[in-house]
Amino acid sequence: MLRPAAPAARSALRAALRPGAMSGAAKPAATPSLASPSARLLSTAAKTTERQPWTCLHRPIPTAAKTARKQQLGGQRRWKSQEELKSRNKSGPFSWRAGLLFVGTSGFLLWFFEHEKERMKQKRMAEANKGYGKPRVGGEFELVDTQGNTFTDEDLKGRYSLVYFGFTHCPDICPEELDKMAQLFDLVESKSPRPGSLLPVFVTCDPARDDPKTLRKYLDDFHPRFVGLTGTYDQVKKTCKAYRVYFSTPEKVKPGEDYLVDHSIYFYIMDPEGEFVEVLGRQHSPEEGARIILGHMKDWKGQWKS
Q: Identify which of 95, 148, 119, 147 has the alpha carbon closest to the alpha carbon of residue 297.
A: 119
**Hey, what amino acid is at 115?**
H
On whether 263 is known to bind a ligand per the annotation, the reply is yes
Residues contacting 129, CB < 8 A, separation 6+: 137, 275, 276, 277, 278
Give me the amino acid identity at 291.
Answer: R
The Cα–Cα gap between 222 and 203 comes to 15
- Residues in the chain, total: 306
Q: Which residues pair with 263 in a beta bridge?
A: 247
User: DSSP 3-state assignment of 158?
Assistant: coil
DSSP per-residue letters across 53-85 = ----SSPPPPHHHHHHHHHHTTTSPPPSSHHHH
Distances (CA, A) of 102 to 70, 95, 106: 37, 11, 6
Checking DSSP bridges between strand 198-204 and strand 227-230, what pairing results, if any?
parallel
Determine the Cα–Cα distance for residues 53 and 65; give it in Å rounded to an integer.
Answer: 26
Confirm or deny that 56 is annotated as ligand binding.
no
Residues comprising the binding site for Cu cation?
170, 174, 263
Residues comprising the binding site?
170, 174, 263
